Amino acid sequence: MSTRIWFRDYDLDALQQRQAGTLGAFLGIVFTAIGDDALEATMPVDARTRQPLGIMHGGASAALAEGLASAASNLCLDLERFYAVGLSLEIHHLRQVREGLVRARATPLHLGRRTHLWSIAVTGEDGRPVSDARLTTMILARDAPQT
C-alpha cells in the first residue's frame, strides 16, 4: 500500500493551469493523473517534439521528465514556505518514437528536507519503455537569499 505524499489535495485542472505560458504548455504536456505517490502526464510526439530525423527529440523527453518530477516535488511542499528546483537530471533514451503520445510517471525514491529524488518512466502508447530518468530537486526556503 502506498502512502500519500502530497502536502495537500490538488486538482489536475489547477495544476495544468499553472503550466500556462511555460515550456510544458508549448510542448503539449498534459497532467493526467495524481495518485497517492505518483504524478502522471502525456506529451504528443509531433512537430514541436521531433528532431530532424522524424523521431522524438531527447530534449523533449528530458523536458517532460524534469517538468513532471519538478511539479511533483513542489506538490510535496508547503509552497508558502518552500519550493523545489531541478538540481540534476539523468536520462537514458531507450527506444525511438515517431508519433502518438508518450506517457510519463514520476514516483519518489527519496523525499528529504533538502533534496528529493524522483524516478520518471516514459513509455509509448504500447506501454514499452521509451526513456528512464532520475531527477534530483533541491528544496529552497522562500525567505532564503538567492545567489
Catalytic residue IDs: 66
Cα separation, 54 vs 35, whole angstroms:
33
Under DSSP, is residue 136 helix (H, G, I), strand (E, B) or coil? Answer: strand
Return the closest-CA partner of residue 99 out of 139, 44, 61, 143: 44
Euclidean distance between CA atoms 22 and 130, whole angstroms: 24
CB-count exposure of residue 109 (10 Å: 0-12, 13-18, 19+) = exposed
